[in-house]
Structure 1
Amino acid sequence: MHHFTYGIITPVLAYVASCVGAATGLSATSRARAATDTRTRAVWLLVGALSIGCTGVWVMHFVAMLGFTVTGMPINYDVPETILSAVLAVVVVAIALFLVGFGGDRPVPLLGGGLVAGVGVAIMHYMGMAAMRMTGHMNYTPWIVAVSIVIALVAATAALWLSVNVKGWLATTGAALIMGAAVSGMHYTGMAALTISGPLGKPSEGTSAVDLLGPLILGIVALTVALVFVVAMWPTESEMRERQAFDERRRRHLERQRARQEEDRERQAASRGF
């Protein structure tokens, strides 16, 4: 087995994709924090889930998988199972973000969200590996699998805490770098648990990595670019809060003006009656 068939290219690209997805997702959740209505907050949390789940987790996993080969044993992928793994990543991240997005970083929503996201991401990882089609048989070392799941749980809980608390571009960048390292670490730990045995040869089912993963990854990258553009063009959390504060001051000023005008009308009416 070769985990780095193309050298450092695939792990670096996978890490960069994870960091970009994490940074975009954290930027989206910061907008969700500043949202004053439920609908707007939910929309930003969904944007965060798409960014983190699709790019930060799924793309990272399958870009790294492009560098995984077995000598004499070409690898194909099951299309429905591969696509389902992407959907699963987004769903579990969305559930976790909604828990902390509306519940805050209190222990129950934070730990509950971390459990959902951590277990879900781990399942997505092993589902993506199970989607491989080859003539050999896959086996896993249980204790390494357990370590990878622990990494996923810790990383997911930390990411959720960051999604509620991180502020500013510098802190967001640092948090994204940490999240990217955690996701990559979980992936390669899980891959280290894998052993393959069996006859060499070509698989009789599935689609090649280039034919399947290439279009899927490019499609999600295009989606990510669109999400990055939307997030970049939208006011930041601090700008949104400043606007809200300005609107609140303006509302109070107008209320005071209306109150004074009403008092003036009452005095004028009283003076005419006198």
Structure 2
Amino acid sequence: MQGTVDGFSYGLVTPLVAYVMACLGGALGLRCTTRALLVAHSWRPGWLALGSAAIGSGIWTMHFIAMMGFSVAGAPIHYDKPMTYASLAIAVVMVGVGIFIVGYKGATGTALFTGGTITGLGIASMHYLGMAGMRFNGTFEYNTLTVACSVAIAMAAATAALWAAGQVRGFLWSVGASLVMGLAVTGMHYTGMAALSAHLHTDGTPSAGDSPAGLVAPMLIGPLAFLCLAGVVVLFDPLMVMGKPDWTPVEHKPGVPAHPPAPHPSRRAHLHTRRKVAHRASRTPQNR
């Protein structure tokens, strides 16, 4: 039996809040990625890891806030918690792989395409693994073409966002990129939901269950707390707004060493002796 699917049980409240969370996670993650490109290599892994966790947590939180407004008539929804948290892990890991590629290889060419593709696939994998963790008296079916469109949106959004993060053009640039990324990620989510249809099982009677909001809200406490912590780290970092590096690169001409070679020890001793002799001669009165 065909089930009636409603993705907007609370009207525009859940889409708007989901979009805000996607923007927040994107803003924190992209700013950390930009920050990683401005520091010495010893600090870079930490900033990239923080950025990966922020983006992964942001899109996961966005997905499940949006799912608070999802319902199937006559079929209470439950969530398989191990699979639900596995979707968070795969989001953080795959987004992290993409961000580390861009963080070390640069946001251009093959590195940007590879990093954006992996990050986009991580976003899509999080979405569909999270959907696979839903339990109700029926089954979901997907339209293949619409699913492919949702994956393409995720890949394009991730590539554009990583490119923007690699430009290192200041705080407002990253904010604009996060707004675009939030729109694209939220659009990817609802495109994927448009590919969905539910078929209810006729055997058995629907049982009472908790509302989706009551089931999902406790799961969001941890990621939301992490996003708040990441926000504190970003806001209190002195270079987050200024966007200036900790070091000043030294420009040098091609073929010329960045640092001139030091003279040989014997040569240094000879030069030192000549300076001492010249100094004494300058202090000796001239014979008239």
| Same fold per superposition (TM over 0.5) | yes
Query: Counterpart of 1:106?
Result: 108
Structure 1 residues 148 and 268 mapped into 2: Cα distance closer, same or farther (>3 Å)? same
**Matched residues in 2 for 1:44 and 1:20: separation?**
17
Secondary structure of the residue that 1:172 maps to in structure 2?
helix
Give CA-to-partner distance per residue, 1:103-124, whole Å, 9 cap, x none.
0023211111122112222121
1:21 aligns with 2:25: yes
In the TM superposition, residue 244 of structure 1 has moved relative to its aligned partner by: 2.7
Match of 1:136 among 138, 144, 160: 138
Match of 2:190 among 179, 188, 191: 188
**Matched residues in 2 for 1:193 and 1:29: separation?**
33
Structure 1 residues 269 and 209 mapped into 2: Cα distance closer, same or farther (>3 Å)? farther
Secondary structure of the residue that 2:244 maps to in structure 1?
helix
Secondary structure of the residue that 1:197 maps to in structure 2?
strand
Structure 1 residues 68 and 273 mapped into 2: Cα distance closer, same or farther (>3 Å)? same
- What letter matches 1:195 in structure 2? S
Match of 2:169 among 149, 167, 170: 167
**Matched residues in 2 for 1:136 and 1:239: separation?**
53
Give CA-to-partner distance per residue, 1:170-194, whole Å, 9 cap, x none.
2222111100000000000000000
**Matched residues in 1 for 2:78 and 2:219: separation?**
14
**Matched residues in 1 for 2:45 and 2:78: separation?**
37
| Residues 200-211 of structure 1 aligned to structure 2 (within 5 Å) | 201-202=206-207, 209-210=212-213
Query: Counterpart of 1:52?
Result: 55
TM-score w.r.t. the length of structure 2 is 0.81
- What letter matches 1:100 in structure 2? V
**Matched residues in 1 for 2:194 and 2:91: separation?**
21
Say whether the 8 Å CA contact 1:76–1:132 is kept in structure 2. Answer: yes
In the TM superposition, residue 167 of structure 1 has moved relative to its aligned partner by: 2.1
- What letter matches 2:48 in structure 1? L
Give CA-to-partner distance per residue, 1:71-114, whole Å, 9 cap, x none.
11110000100000000000011000010100002321111112
In the TM superposition, residue 134 of structure 1 has moved relative to its aligned partner by: 0.2
Say whether the 8 Å CA contact 1:2–1:69 is kept in structure 2. Answer: yes
Structure 1 residues 239 and 133 mapped into 2: Cα distance closer, same or farther (>3 Å)? same
In the TM superposition, residue 269 of structure 1 has moved relative to its aligned partner by: 5.4
In the TM superposition, residue 156 of structure 1 has moved relative to its aligned partner by: 1.4
**Matched residues in 2 for 1:91 and 1:213: separation?**
22
| Residues 64-75 of structure 1 aligned to structure 2 (within 5 Å) | 64-75=66-77
Give CA-to-partner distance per residue, 1:217-240, whole Å, 9 cap, x none.
122111111111101111225757
TM-score w.r.t. the length of structure 1 is 0.85
- What letter matches 1:15 in structure 2? Y
**Matched residues in 2 for 1:211 and 1:189: separation?**
25
| Residues 211-250 of structure 1 aligned to structure 2 (within 5 Å) | 212-236=215-239, 239=242, 241=244, 243-245=246-248
Query: Counterpart of 1:2?
Result: 6
Say whether the 8 Å CA contact 1:14–1:184 is kept in structure 2. Answer: yes
Say whether the 8 Å CA contact 1:135–1:203 is kept in structure 2. Answer: no
Which stretch of structure 1 is more off in the superposition, 137-146 or 117-126? Answer: 117-126
In the TM superposition, residue 169 of structure 1 has moved relative to its aligned partner by: 2.3
Structure 1 residues 138 and 242 mapped into 2: Cα distance closer, same or farther (>3 Å)? closer
Match of 1:198 among 197, 200, 216: 200
Instruction: Show structure 2 runs of 5+ residues with no match.
Output: 250-258, 260-268, 282-288
- What letter matches 2:156 in structure 1? V
Instruction: Show structure 1 runs of 5+ residues with no match.
Output: 247-251, 253-261
Secondary structure of the residue that 2:71 maps to in structure 1?
coil
- Report how many aligned residue pairs link the two structures: 258
Say whether the 8 Å CA contact 2:38–2:245 is kept in structure 1. Answer: no
